Structure 1
Amino acid sequence: MADMMQFDLVSPERRLASLQVREVRIPGVDGELTAMPGHAPLITTLRPGVLAVAGAEGETDYVVTGGFAEVTATGVSVLAEVAHPTKNVTQAMIDDMVAEAHRLHKEAGPDLVDAAAKTLADMVALGGRIGLEPKLP
């Protein structure tokens, strides 16, 4: 089908999705982007956020904390550091992710402190986006 493309999402623990979709909204480090069939090829680094997939069965959202997305004219492959269906993410999981980002920010050297602060801010915003308010350490 010309209006559909292949979507694959994998994390170190497992394959989360492999299906035909109409579009994938990707939280890239340079901003959100939407990939659809026929998209120009690109590779982007992921920032913490919500990866949204629209297919024949409706929309499915996944929480991702980093990784890479490869977009081609025929599909999107996402290799995520951490990925969970949004409906399975708990308050404790968000709190743990924010606490880890906070720890990394505190330990970051001068050359990485800005990137670590951005990651921490993205983690906090991610919790709010899915309706969970993370506890800040």
Structure 2
Amino acid sequence: MADHLQFDLVSPERRLASVEASEVQIPGADGDMTAMAGHAPTITTLRPGVLKVIHSGGIDEYVVLGGFAEITATSVSVLAESALPRGEMSQDVYDRMMDDARAEMKKARETFENEPGPVDDAAKLMSDMVAVGTHIGLDPKQSNFG
């Protein structure tokens, strides 16, 4: 069995990565997971988080917001709703993402009064966005889901 797998990451805007990796750490909607060569076939949805790719040249990190990952024994393909290399993630970019998440929360509260599902989903998005910012050293400025 080979000890590497092909990793590809694409977003609607561009292809971000195509590299032979030894390990891919994925922020799955049901929990973090690590894919390595020989992994059982799996498809998982993504939550906002930091995706790490370990390869012979080092470690690459990407901030992903939604999408899904398809894992096979020889490859990991990630189709992200939105993704940026961690190095492109500035406070301004993060602030815009937080503003979008706050707007989603407000819309959910107004549209789905007394329907907890969509409001809970929006609160989870806010929580995940705060966690992403904290993890990479950015300030969410308002961690109270306001």
- Common topology (TM > 0.5): yes
Structure 2: which 5+ residue stretches go unaligned? none
- Per the TM alignment, residue 99 of structure 1 is displaced from its structure 2 partner at its CA by 1.0
- Per the TM alignment, residue 135 of structure 1 is displaced from its structure 2 partner at its CA by 2.4
Match in the other structure for 2:28 = 28
Output the CA distance in 2 between the equivalents of 1:121 and 1:44.
20
Counterpart secondary structure, 1:133 = coil
- Per the TM alignment, residue 5 of structure 1 is displaced from its structure 2 partner at its CA by 0.5
Counterpart secondary structure, 2:19 = strand
- Per the TM alignment, residue 106 of structure 1 is displaced from its structure 2 partner at its CA by 1.2
Counterpart secondary structure, 1:63 = strand
Deviations 1:25-75 (A, max 9, x none): 000010000000000011100000000000000100000011000000001
Residues 57-72 of structure 1 mapped to structure 2, 5 A cutoff: 57-72=57-72
- Per the TM alignment, residue 87 of structure 1 is displaced from its structure 2 partner at its CA by 1.1
Structure 1: which 5+ residue stretches go unaligned? none
Output the CA distance in 2 between the equivalents of 1:125 and 1:49.
8
When the two structures are aligned, how many residues end up with a matched partner? 137
Name the one with the larger strand percent: 1
Residues 67-106 of structure 1 mapped to structure 2, 5 A cutoff: 67-106=67-106
Output the CA distance in 2 between the equivalents of 1:133 and 1:107.
23
Deviations 1:85-124 (A, max 9, x none): 0011000111111111111011112230001100111001
**4+ residue segments displaced more than 3 Å:** none
Which letter does structure 1 place at the counterpart of 2:107? E
- Per the TM alignment, residue 84 of structure 1 is displaced from its structure 2 partner at its CA by 0.5
